Amino acid sequence: MAGITDPRPPLPEWILECYDRLCTQACQPEIGEDSVPLIDYDDAVTMLSSDAELALEQRDVEHALTRLLERGYFYEVEDELRVTSPEEQC
């Protein structure tokens, strides 16, 4: 994620809104000691694409997910998006 010393500009508000919605869905960890909040990549695409309030096209959704992954909001393991720091973000 972009920190205080990060020279990159902040993410656009619409991408952060996508993150908030995904985090809401991902913040339901499976039962287990090492469970990390996660959401399946395809489920994330479907959820964001079908959200009438966001009104995003498929390529916009994929762009948002790519930017969130690049900035470290999520990391990907076997087609699952896992929240990087759930205690700070959810």
CA 62 to chain centre: 11
| pLDDT, tens digit, 9 for 90 and up, residues 33-62 | 467 788 899 999 999 999 999 999 999 999
pTM here?
0.79
Chain mean pLDDT for the chain: 83
Is residue 26 within 8 A of residue 37, CB to CB? The reply is yes
Which of the four pLDDT bands, split at 50, 70 and 90, describes residue 31? low
User: What pLDDT does residue 84 have?
Assistant: 82
Helices (H), ranges, the chain: 13-26, 41-50, 58-71, 86-89
SS3 34: coil
